[in-house]
């Protein structure tokens, strides 16, 4: 049976809260995704602290020139991240630069194809981004659960690499994407819940049933 993993998007601002929630839900998640809100509030050292609980995906949506992108990726890996996220639209050279750093650390690189919130400027481009991710040997893509038909199309392009889908819960994404995804990314539906552990458990169980 195919197992779909739950990734916690930990977009809270306080260190204690982040560590408490991560510890609370650790039995139900495979990874913790750390984004700018937490790192800009607590410092990059939070990646190392959270890594003691679960592997961390550094979601800096890297989208700069190769030189700068490499520095950002290196900071993430040196601080304990197991994977980094890069924007595909930044281009092949940027993705290659990030991949080169990842190799040094035995880390993974996931490429954003299109955003859950808008496809306005991604139409006709996200398929090319997905193709590039496979050609360069990236480990996964980020695809929108808010548009399951796009996740299906992207799956046809990328085949067996990881597909991580945000948007379930607060953004109203569809669980239909479990047909194609390897990971579901959930933030607010867990960390804003009165009982994050119970919410994570419920989502985890739902994912097991839908498998
Ligand atoms: O469940 P939420 O909506 O509270 O959180 C979703 C998380 O996924 C949050 O960290 C977003 O930054 C991220 N995300 C999206 O919501 N949409 C996207 O298209 C892409 C991402 C993402 O994780 O990109 C790597």
Find out whether 162 is annotated in a ligand binding site.
Answer: no
User: pTM higher than 0.80 for the full model?
Assistant: yes
- How many Å separate Cα 32 from the centre of its chain? 9
pLDDT tens track for 47-97: 999 999 999 999 999 999 999 999 999 999 999 999 999 999 999 999 999
**Count of structural domains within the chain:** 1
What CATH number should be reported for the domain holding residue 116? 3.20.20.70
Domain holding 126, by residue range, is 5-209
8 Å CB contact between 190 and 203? yes
Q: Is 61 a catalytic residue?
A: yes
pLDDT value of residue 208 = 87
The complex's ipTM?
Answer: 0.99
How would you class 103 by CB atoms within 10 Å of its CB: exposed for 0-12, middle for 13-18, buried for 19 or more? exposed
Mutation test of ligand 1: which of 166, 171, 190, 196 has the most ligand atoms closer than 8 Å to its C-beta? 166
Interval between CA 118 and ligand 1 midpoint (Å): 12
Radius of gyration from C-alpha coordinates of the chain: 16
């Amino acid at each position: 049976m195919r197992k779909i993993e739950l990734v916690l998007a930990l977009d809270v601002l306080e260190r204690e809260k982040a560590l408490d929630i991560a510890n609370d839900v650790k039995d139900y998640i495979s990874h913790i995704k750390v984004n700018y809100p937490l790192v800009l509030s607590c410092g990059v050292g939070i990646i190392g602290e959270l890594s003691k609980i679960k592997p961390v995906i550094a979601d800096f949506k890297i989208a700069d020139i190769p030189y700068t992108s490499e520095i950002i990726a290196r900071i993430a890996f040196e601080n304990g991240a197991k994977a980094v996220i890069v924007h595909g639209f930044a281009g092949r050279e940027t993705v290659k630069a990030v991949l080169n750093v990842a190799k040094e650390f035995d880390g993974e690189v996931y490429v954003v194809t299109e955003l859950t919130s808008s496809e306005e400027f991604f139409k006709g481009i996200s398929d090319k981004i997905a193709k590039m991710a496979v050609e360069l040997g990236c480990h996964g893509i980020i695809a929108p659960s808010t548009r399951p038909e796009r996740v299906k199309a992207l799956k046809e392009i990328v085949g067996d690499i990881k597909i991580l889908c945000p948007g379930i819960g607060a953004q109203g994404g569809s669980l239909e994407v479990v047909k194609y995804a390897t990971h579901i990314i959930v933030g607010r539906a867990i960390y804003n819940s009165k009982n994050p552990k119970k919410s994570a458990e419920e989502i985890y169980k739902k994912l097991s049933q839908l498998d």
